[in-house]
Amino acid sequence: MNFKQGRYSGLITPLSYLIDLAIINFLLFNFFTLYLYSEFELKHFITISSLWILISVFNKFYYVHRYTNIVKLLNLLFNQIILFSLSFFCFVGLFSDLYIETGLVIKILSLNSILIILIKLLSYYSIKKFRSDFGGNNRKTVIIGNSLEAQNLEFFFKTKKEVGYIHKKTFLSVNNDSISECLKFIKENNVDEIYCSLEQITDLELKALIKFSDNNLKVIKFIPNRTKLNSKKLIYETYDAIPILSLRKAPLNDSVNIFFKRLLDLIISTFVIVFILSWLTPIIALFIKKESKGPVFFKQIRNGINYDEFYCFKFRSMIVNNQADIKQASKGDPRVTRVGKFLRKTSLDEMPQFINVFIGDMSVVGPRPHMTKENDRYFKSVEKYMLRHSIKPGITGLAQVNGFRGEVQKESDIVNRIRLDIFYLENWSLLLDIKIIVRTITNSFIGEEKAY
């Protein structure tokens, strides 16, 4: 099975943040040195940087998509500069010991605004040039349907090369006989996004397409009839005045959210590796080696984001056996050692996975990665199972803190686990991650029924 799909570059937004913050702080540092002859302290850097980040998140300044037009970009620039300028005046008032004259403030803000605008426009047009002239940063598309809106969208894809879409094919219509050919074409050509005309597809065909897109990690969007935009659950966007509806908008598809989640992962994993695993590992290793023969660490192939395989690390909690990759631990499992029972009860066996988090295979919070045998089994029987692989797996997750961890004893266990995994990816926030982390720590002290 091949579940990979094209991805937007996750580096564009973080780099934009860093460049803008570098410009702002460089200007302030030089103005202080040249005109005020005073030191620009660390607290000033932090305050100004925090103001810029908060305003940009509120203003969605870095939420620039490939189909965003120049008018919207200029509007974002205007709002960002005005809000930051007002905030900067507040900053000057807050740190009254700086004694910055109004004229100097205006000079700083004017030069900063000019540089930010130039950098933003330069990056905007450079990326478009890169797409149109060099064919980079593209996404492959198909359209199903031949409505007026579908025809306009096809024209948009084919003529607007700078937007970065490679249109592979338009299926004038699909039915129960031809839909399999359509899905086969999408898989063989590694299509990233499917666009369906809602006027020309039946509910049964639509259900088949949604199921296919969920299980193969494809993006599916809908081309509505302009007179029937009555769904509040679908997400409305426009591509050059062409209306488009998306089935879902997962927060972690956005590079800004990916950046902040990754930053949180790096902070937590670095802290745990340096200040906890550094001294805890030798102690646990001593007990593991004393009780049974075998390695201290247990590694197993799991499937992560985009179904990519990686080695998941744990402290070994069982005697070495040939069923570790095919059979889950059950209650009273004779393979589990006495030390392993304690490690599993307290979740200490999962601690080496902070190494997985640090190197980027996992996140602190996310859907728990399953054994490959389980994935092959549940993919065929559980609806929307593959959606959990559209984000990084986690050491802990929403399902785990709600009692759906460990052994799957009945079908409802895995169904509820997937339900909570999908809820998490559709409703992610840093606050939700922190809440799950706190509950995980609490549960590890209290103990959990299925921690065996």
pLDDT digits (tens, 9 = 90+) for 147-205: 888 999 999 999 988 888 999 999 987 776 678 888 999 999 999 999 998 887 888 88
> What is the predicted pLDDT for the residue at 230?
47
Higher-confidence position of 39 and 206:
206
Q: How confident is the model at residue 146 (pLDDT cuts 50, 70, 90)?
A: confident
pLDDT for residue 31: 78
Using DSSP's 3-state secondary structure scheme, residue 99 falls into: coil
Contact 246, 234 (CB under 8 A): yes
Residue ranges, comma separated, of all CATH 3.40.50.2300 domains in the chain are: 139-249
Question: What's the chain's average pLDDT?
Answer: 85
pTM above 0.95, yes or no: no
Band of pLDDT at residue 98, cut at 50, 70 and 90: low
Confidence of residue 269 (pLDDT cuts 50, 70, 90): very high
CATH 2.60.120.10 fits 139-249, yes or no: no
DSSP codes joined into one string, 27-48: HHHHHIIIII-S---HHHHHHH
In the chain, what percentage of residues exceed pLDDT 90?
41
Mean pLDDT of 342-364: 94
Taking the C-alpha atoms of residue 76 and residue 51, their distance in angstroms, rounded to an integer, is 16
The predicted-structure confidence for 364-388, as pLDDT tens digits, reads as follows: 999 999 988 888 888 888 888 998 9
272 has a pLDDT exceeding 60:
yes
* Beta strands 242-246; 219-223: pairing state: antiparallel
- Nearest 5 degrees, angle CA 349-CA 362-CA 413? 70
Res 5: pLDDT: 39
